Amino acid sequence: MTSKLLIPSILSIALLQACGGGGGGDGGTAPAASTSGSAGGSTGTPASADSGSVSARFAAGASSRYQLVGVGSQTFGRLDTSVQASSGAMTKLSDAVLSGNSVTKDISGDASYAMGRWAAGTVTRSSGSETLSGTDNRAYHYIALNSPAQFPTMGTLSCDAGAFTTPTYKSGGSGTSPNTGSASGSATLSFGAGGATVGGAVNVAASGSAGSATLGTTISSTSSASVTGAYLSGGSGAAVQIGDAGGGAFLVAASYAATLANGARYIGVARFRCAA
């Protein structure tokens, strides 16, 4: 059953942060990492530099939104302020700030969105701060975008193969779960009287096991996100929203959690560009 989460209010964001989006209770440190898994494990050596790139700086507007997901929390809300480094990494997303000896991986984006994974540095939020070492499973995945002014009244768009941050281990599974996995997926997008209807899934693989998070939902408002599956309660699912990609194109953006067949749960963010 799909539930919907409207996110324009500060109150709804505060409630999510207070309870960790329903997923804070199952977070933890990854078991001993496997060095032979299909996704590879932790080497114990911190990443030293930002990686990835953007084709243009994110052009934040009055209707900008963001999602930020970590081991113990999921935050969705209005992007009041932001800072983007020369590498393309977003280092400030509303009240969340990455500072210190920081590293951001999987950077991608253009004027319509910005995406990446905070792998190392100090993350400061209203709830406190923590230091990411870059050598374990703790990471924050983010995506920022601009909400459309309105949805089309009808039409079906074709979506590309997507862009993904490297999924990171959250909880569960066996003692051989690696800190990172690999992601792929597909999406569909159509518009009608009910709003934007999204289909597809994000698929995650790690250490010979696989699982997926469904994106299937209908989003009634341009400023809302729809939560699928058991994303906020320790299972597989996603928080899905629509962004404006310009020129009549749209983005399907999601933070997600996928539970693999071996019980390990991985998190990340994904972006699909959809056009006529």
What the block records as the tokens of 105 is 């991986």
User: Phi/psi of residue 26, each to 5°?
Assistant: -110, 15
- Do residues 145 and 154 lie in contact, with contact meaning Cβ atoms separated by under 8 Å? no
What the block records as the tokens of 186 is 């597909």
Name the most confidently modeled range: 2-11, 41-50, 199-208.
Answer: 199-208
Instruction: Please state, for a pLDDT cut of 90, what percent of the chain lies above it.
Output: 79
Q: Residue 20: left if φ>0, alpha if ψ -120 to 50, beta else—which one?
A: left
Range scoring the smallest mean pLDDT among 21-30, 83-92, 122-131, 165-174: 21-30
For 228-239, the pLDDT digits (tens) are: 999 999 999 999
What is the DSSP code (8-state) at residue 176? T
What is the DSSP code (8-state) at residue 166? P
Query: Which whole number is the average pLDDT over 133-144?
Result: 96
More confident residue, 8 or 175: 175
Query: Does the predicted model carry a pTM greater than 0.75?
Result: yes
- In 3D space, the residue among 262, 274, 276 whose CA is nearest the CA of residue 34 turns out to be 262
- Do residues 136 and 257 lie in contact, with contact meaning Cβ atoms separated by under 8 Å? no
- Do residues 274 and 251 lie in contact, with contact meaning Cβ atoms separated by under 8 Å? yes
- Do residues 259 and 201 lie in contact, with contact meaning Cβ atoms separated by under 8 Å? no
Which residues, at least 6 apart from 19, have a Cβ–Cβ distance to it below 8 Å? none
